[in-house]
Amino acid sequence: MFDFNQLQTHLNRRTFLSRSGVGLGSAALGSLLTRDSLAVAKSKTVTTASDGLPGLPHFAPKAKRVIFLCMAGGPTHLETFDYKPKLAEMDGKPFPESYTKGQPIAQLQGRDLKCQGPLTKFRKYGENGQEISDFLPWTAKIADDICIVRSMVTEQINHDPAHTFMNTGTAISGRPSMGSWVTYGLGSETEELPGFVVLTSVGGRNPQPIASRQWGTGFLPSRYQGVQFNSTGDPVNYLKNPAGITDPQQKELIDAVRKLDRFRNQSVSNPEIDTRIAAYEMAFRMQTSVPDLMDLSDESKETLEMYGAEAGSGTYATNCLLARRLAERGSRFIHLYHRGWDHHGDLVRYMNTCCGLTDKPTWALINDLKSRGMLDETLVIWGGEFGRTPMFQGKGGAGRDHHIKGFSMWMAGGGIRGGISYGNTDELGYNSVENIVHVRDLHATMLHLLGIDHKRFSVEFQGLDTKLTGVEEARVIKEVLT
């Protein structure tokens, strides 16, 4: 059994050990900390996994948590939520140069640009006649629950920087992700599971890779890093004990490491040591809580069929059900990526694939949250990193290129007015022209619903008060709030 008092006496008698044995230990620990910033050392001391910043939330929140459904690759707004009769009328005709001259275009730069009309039909749903395409029959069933934002704009036209911008509010790599910002400010409602969890699935055309830095902490303490759960196999790497190691033995080891780290921290007062201690303890607790989370045997047959979920399948459907289970257990930010929406060609085929994999599970998630009384306190966001062009691109059939000047997303749940559409693009679906919503406005609105004033939520980094919403003016989209 580890005797900490005996060790401390030994160290006091022989300062050599504090310079060699413990010194070597601190060097090893230091190697773990070199990637982690001390930017918040003066503002916060890590205590428990559920700890948030003093003084937050700034006001009463309307949402307790966020589930962000990222359709990675950029779904086309013109075949989902933004019907353009004029574009249909001009199908096959030259696209007006007045729209595109001097504008960034990804793969169509310098090409002969022609209009591509909608490749499916749209119908009106819900009390207010929300226009939703035939690709999304299940989303159409929740038309009165969702607020469709048809006037989104972003600043990066290629996938990885566009994801970086959507996730961090800047194209600069290495900045904190929105999930890290949220858990840094508000903490988590659980000490048994991570406050920020990432789940990924694939299906569709050309699934783009998603770098783990998209859920990184940047200059925030590393304890706010998103934890990716694997789609298949062990949900978290190295979660199981090594062969021959029992839970009591593992706990004894964790206790010993914690005592050594805390002894060292009496000298250096490094908040990242507290972070590592919390991480070791969380990992130990997760050895019980994660298998329980992933075990779907307590779900009814009706629920599994509603989602189309199957334990261990790694599908978007299963991830949606896991998102609800994580929300129930207190995780603060749950980010799902479905990779496969990069439809440069053969758009109809791949829209059928992607929507077939995601449409019904998304409906199921909203319905499930609603039936359990959780939707009112859960903000759900659906969308990709950008939209697609109104111009034709053909690679194995009609497709569309990347587009940043106008695209659609939707929100539902905590504090959002359901059954409305907000903003508009022009008659060809190229530019957002009415009630334009920048990505930073989306971030400001998300933080507002969580009870955070984005203008007062910052961390000093390299001499600047750095915010998720950046230095430019961002606004809360009050028109879409209840």
Where are the extended beta strands (E) located within 171-297? Answer: 196-205, 227-229
Long-range contacts of residues 136-140, Cβ cutoff 8 Å, at least 24 apart: 136/80, 136/355, 136/359, 137/359, 138/359, 138/360, 138/362, 138/363, 139/359, 139/362, 139/363
Question: Does pLDDT of 17 surpass 90?
Answer: no
pLDDT tens digits, one per residue of 31-82: 344 334 444 444 444 445 467 999 999 999 999 999 999 999 999 999 999 9
* Between 281 and 35, the higher pLDDT residue: 281
pLDDT tens digits, one per residue of 456-467: 999 999 999 999
Question: Does pLDDT of 273 surpass 70?
Answer: no
208-229: average pLDDT: 93
Say whether 399 sits in a helix, a strand or coil.
Answer: strand
Question: Does pLDDT of 125 surpass 90?
Answer: yes
Give the pLDDT band (50/70/90) at residue 16: very low
- Looking at every residue in the chain, the average pLDDT score rounds to 87
In this predicted structure, what is the pLDDT of residue 23?
39
Question: Does pLDDT of 284 surpass 90?
Answer: no
Cα–Cα distance, 479 to 482 (Å, whole number): 8
DSSP state of 68: E
* Cβ contacts of 326 within 8 Å, gap of 6 or more: 193, 197, 293, 334
The answer to whether 192 and 285 are in contact (CB under 8 A) is yes
* Cβ contacts of 380 within 8 Å, gap of 6 or more: 66, 67, 68, 69, 365, 366, 369, 411, 412, 413
pLDDT tens digits, one per residue of 219-239: 999 889 999 998 776 777 555
pLDDT tens digits, one per residue of 69-119: 999 999 999 999 999 999 999 999 999 999 998 888 889 988 899 999 999
446-459: average pLDDT: 98
pTM: 0.85
Token pair listed for 23:
């010194």
In this predicted structure, what is the pLDDT of residue 237?
57
DSSP state of 96: P
349-360 core/surface letters (b: 16 or more CB in 10 A; e: else): ebbebbbebbbb
- Terminal-residue alpha carbon distance, the chain: 58
Share of the chain above pLDDT 90, in %: 72
In this predicted structure, what is the pLDDT of residue 19?
40
In this predicted structure, what is the pLDDT of residue 278?
66
Token pair listed for 108:
């169509």
Give the pLDDT band (50/70/90) at residue 282: low
Question: Does pLDDT of 427 surpass 90?
Answer: yes
Question: Does pLDDT of 25 surpass 50?
Answer: no
Share of the chain above pLDDT 70, in %: 81
Cα–Cα distance, 322 to 311 (Å, whole number): 9
Cα–Cα distance, 327 to 313 (Å, whole number): 20
Cα–Cα distance, 306 to 268 (Å, whole number): 53
DSSP state of 402: E
What does the angle CA 154 – CA 155 – CA 160 come to, to the nearest 5 degrees?
Answer: 95
Hey, what's the torsion of the CAs at 291, 294, 295, 299, to 10 degrees? 150
pLDDT tens digits, one per residue of 171-192: 999 999 999 999 999 999 999 9
